[in-house]
Amino acid sequence: MSNVFGKLFKLGSWGESHGKAIGAVVDGCPAGLEISEEYIQTFLDRRRPGQSILTTQRKESDAVKILSGVFEGKTTGAPISLIVENTDHHSSDYDHIKDWYRPGHADEAYDSKYGFRDYRGGGRSSARETIARVAAGSIARKFLNEKCGTEFTAKISEMGNIENARKNGDSVGGVISLTIKNPPKNLGEPVFDRAEALLAMAMMSIPAAKGFEIGAGFNAAKMLGSEHNKLGENHAGGVYGGITSGEDIFCKIAFKPTPSISKLQKAKNKNGEIGEISIKGRHDPCVAVRAPVIVESMAALVLMDLWLQNGEFKIGN
């Protein structure tokens, strides 16, 4: 497994859905940034379950604690260890599917790769892991906001009919649109670590993400060069040759429907037999509902890391 994200601003993520806790270790944060548990909590609250009928009814307070790296309210340069305890796990909900691979899930893949599978809520493959991303991202975005006034705003721009799906024990997909206002200029390290490439990587590492586009995206394939190039129209979405121009950055991320549904569906078990299962547990009928803050967080982690790499790119700086 590879659970460290970033080159200079590193997030180490750990913890399972039904384990003792979820945690993040942020390494490489500059010293002197004001950070508090209350501040981080506001972002975790945005992704917290149990807040509306549209999200899972798992009741977690998701209260974050800072264990290191902050002294007298400010970062010290040392790794920032953040922890959120798991309290409301109903592992017994999963007993009935212990031997079944939930369709659309990572169950079979983990079993094949690791010779083992944590059937209690998906273990490490659970979206609960994104707590670490949101906590770490909240630090990155604060830094960028203080330095450059950068703002990250993600919204659901497309979603299936969640009410109809819910009634049938089914789920729907969705699309999240992200706008980054006042991004730092000159970020991105061509030819491989282009800003758009790292944003794509970050977004596609979120559970259930299936597509990414920037600027005009797939529509760009339908345009003429003379249209796409037009000055001031920002069809590129704020990056040129892999480098941010300082213009707003626009991205879209497609999410597949929540794979966990109570509706009866065909599934395979460990012996390769086909049967029908209904997945209990408390699941979001649309993963996109809680995804905006996750998308914003991943974007912040990418820009922060590129920002630190940008130190000295030309003599005379």
Residue 280 neighbours by CB under 8 Å, 6+ apart? 93, 94, 96, 262
Residue type, position 30, single letter = P
- Integer Cα distance of 138 and 177 in angstroms: 19
Cis ω before 134 (30° cut-off from 0): no
Of the candidate spans 39-47, 53-61, 92-100, 157-165, the one that interacts with its own copies by CB under 8 A turns out to be: 157-165
Residue 113 neighbours by CB under 8 Å, 6+ apart? none
What is the nearest approach in angstroms of its own copies to the Cβ of residue 256?
4
- What tokens appear for 36 in the block? 């508090």
Of the candidate spans 35-43, 51-59, 91-99, 152-160, the one that interacts with its own copies by CB under 8 A turns out to be: 152-160
- Integer Cα distance of 57 and 97 in angstroms: 20
Q: Which residues pair with 209 in a beta bridge?
A: 255
What is the nearest approach in angstroms of its own copies to the Cβ of residue 108?
7
Which residues inside 100-139 make contact with its own copies, applying CB under 8 A? 103-110, 112-116, 118, 123-125, 129
Yes or no: say if 3 and 102 are a contact pair by the CB < 8 Å rule. no
282 binding its own copies? (CB under 8 A): no
What is the nearest approach in angstroms of its own copies to the Cβ of residue 46?
20
Which residues inside 18-47 make contact with its own copies, applying CB under 8 A? 19-21, 23, 25, 27-28, 30-33
Which residues inside 206-235 make contact with its own copies, applying CB under 8 A? 207, 209-218, 220-231, 235
Which residues inside 182-211 make contact with its own copies, applying CB under 8 A? 185-186, 188-194, 196-205, 207, 209-211
Q: Rank residues 4 and 42 by Cβ distance to its own copies and give the closer one.
A: 4
